[in-house]
Amino acid sequence: MFGRIKKLDKRVLDNISRIHRPKLNRIMVTASRLGNAGIVWWAVCLPFLINPRWRYTGLTIIFSLGLTSLMGEGIIKHTVKRVRPCHSLDDDEQIIKKPKYYSFPSGHTASSFSVVSVVIFSQCPVYVIIPIFLIAVIIGFSRVYLRVHYLTDVVVGMVLGIVCGIVTVLLFRAIVPPSFIYSN
């Protein structure tokens, strides 16, 4: 089974590398950078925190990002220790600087989809959910496009993010009811 997964991962990387173009490279680099340290998600979180009606959702996003980072970056990556695809490339083939740390799962994708799941399960309006979802998808795709992750890293990052987001929403509701935030 792992042999088939490795073949699929390699085939996907090979096929995506065929669509590389200078303009698309710049777009993917920008998309990937949005996910660095969750920058875009901290920026998205600010309007939620400022608006009293959505403050609870903003706090939930913060805790979800923390849980996702702890699970993905802190535990899973250092347990699995999967080498990134870019480490088998020559430096001139690489579009961005090779990350130092492990590949599995994609932290950019995990954090992105933790935010997606929080806004969905917090019943945010569709006009909020759709752009957040699209940004998350583009960030995840950019990681494979830039050859710093395999497809399976991104898929598992999505699953991890969704699970962490849902768990955070459920835990947050059980521990800190919305009335606590709004009554202060």
Domains of the chain with bracketed CATH: 2-183 (1.20.144.10)
Q: Which two tokens stand for residue 178?
A: 């919305």
The pLDDT value given to residue 91 = 63
Q: Which of 33, 10, 26, 38 is nearest to 95 (CA)?
A: 26
In degrees, to the nearest 5, what angle opens at C-alpha 124 toward C-alphas 119 and 129? Answer: 60
Q: Which of 104, 99, 100 is nearest to 75 (CA)?
A: 104
Residue 39 contacts by C-beta under 8 Å, 6 or more apart in sequence?
33
Residue whose entry in the numeric block shows the structure tokens 């805790």: 63
pLDDT tens for the chain, 184 residues long, are: 677 888 888 888 888 888 888 899 899 888 888 888 888 999 999 999 998 889 999 999 999 999 999 999 999 999 988 878 876 766 666 776 767 788 799 999 999 999 999 999 998 999 999 999 999 999 999 999 998 899 999 999 999 999 999 999 999 888 877 666 655 4
Q: Which two tokens stand for residue 27?
A: 């777009």
